[in-house]
Amino acid sequence: MAPARPTPLDSWHAAVPATLFAGTALLTMLAVQPALVGLSLGGALAFSLLARGVRATARGLAWQLPLLALVCVLNPFFSASGSTLLLKVGPRSVYAESLAYGATMGALLVATVLWFGGAATALTQDRLLALCSRRARALPLVASMASQLVPQMLGRAKTVRATVAACTAAGPRPGLRDELTRTSTMLLTWSLEDSVERADAMRARGWESGRPRTSYRLERLRGRDVAALAGVAGLLVICAACAWQLCASWRFYPTMGELGPWWAYVPWAALMALPCLGRVSPFGTPAPPAREASDERA
């Protein structure tokens, strides 16, 4: 859900928070290192509390934390590797390295889910559509039509099978192969007939009419947005380089490696805290992004 009140992230072009959240989520999924995953989980949890509220975050954690515990507990039984033996459960040995790997992967999964949930509060559907090209803006229409037509076709398939099964005067019930052939043929005919009517209805509403019309562009890319994009991209590159160095010096098996120098975590911690700093900006309610009218085709 969208945030109830304006946030500093709303004052920037949608490309800025989109790049920030996409880069943060991607680095979180690729950097499998306990300290990096812990910082990412802390940043995602803090932003979720600020943006979504305590109640919504707690509802998500109600199933995310058990999933983390499940991955942490089950991994030693599927990957019995390591050098620090903790205990034996029947023929299986539980090692600290396997337990640490499971906890890291579970925390990584929870952090990724939290980042995507937090991004949904800062990037509404209108802002995401504004980032797409003119052709790409038709994709939501195609997706919504598919989500409606697939259940409709499944319901029609049940209707066709029930009708064929009820026609006992035509002879014995056909076999499975003949029944599937007859059902698919009727569904194809039914769909082709509907497609002609649906195409005429969309054409009547102006789709692909070829005539230019004036539309309202939600946001305009300004100089400050370009500077912010460059800053976010530079921070993402620095974090990727630091994460590469830290992950290269770390290993889970057969023994856990070194965490690396402390200064390599500073850019990563700054990136994870950046959405929270934007959320609690001390400069008050931000000004809305610049908007303009533009000529686009239906």
**CA–CA separation, 208 vs 206, rounded Å?**
6
Per-residue CA distances from 278 to 7, 10, 119, 125, 210 (Å):
8, 10, 13, 20, 42
Handedness of CA 56, 58, 60, 62 (dihedral sign): negative
Mean pLDDT score across all residues of the chain: 79
What are the pLDDT digits (tens) for 81-112?
Answer: 777 777 777 777 778 888 888 889 999 999 99
Selection from 120, 126, 135, 131 nearest residue 229 by Cα: 131
What are the pLDDT digits (tens) for 48-77?
Answer: 988 888 898 899 889 888 888 888 888 777
**CA–CA separation, 110 vs 269, rounded Å?**
18
Give yes or no for a contact between 298 and 208, defined as CB atoms under 8 angstroms apart: yes
Share of the chain above pLDDT 70, in %: 79
Average confidence (pLDDT) over 199-215: 69
> Which position has the higher pLDDT, 175 or 116?
116
Average confidence (pLDDT) over 23-30: 93
Query: pLDDT band at residue 3, thresholds of 50, 70 and 90?
Result: very low
- The predicted model scores a pTM of 0.67
**CA–CA separation, 126 vs 111, rounded Å?**
25
| 4 has a pLDDT exceeding 50 | no
Give yes or no for a contact between 6 and 51, defined as CB atoms under 8 angstroms apart: no
| 298 has a pLDDT exceeding 50 | no
* HEC string for 44-61: HHHHHHHHCCHHHHHHHH
Per-residue CA distances from 244 to 27, 79, 110, 249 (Å):
10, 25, 22, 9
pLDDT at 297: 44
pLDDT at 294: 47
Query: pLDDT band at residue 279, thresholds of 50, 70 and 90?
Result: low
Inter-axis angle of helices 139-166 and 176-204, nearest 10: 140
**CA–CA separation, 211 vs 213, rounded Å?**
6
Q: What 8-state DSSP symbol labels residue 207?
A: T
**CA–CA separation, 238 vs 232, rounded Å?**
10
| 25 has a pLDDT exceeding 90 | yes
pLDDT at 165: 77
**CA–CA separation, 292 vs 273, rounded Å?**
32
Q: What 8-state DSSP symbol labels residue 296?
A: E
What are the start-end ranges of the H helices in the chain? 15-30, 34-51, 54-78, 96-122, 125-131, 139-166, 176-204, 223-248, 265-279
Give yes or no for a contact between 40 and 269, defined as CB atoms under 8 angstroms apart: no
> Which position has the higher pLDDT, 42 or 285?
42
Q: What 8-state DSSP symbol labels residue 136?
A: G
| 288 has a pLDDT exceeding 60 | no
| 238 has a pLDDT exceeding 60 | yes
What are the pLDDT digits (tens) for 143-193?
Answer: 767 777 888 888 888 888 888 777 776 666 667 777 788 888 888 888 888
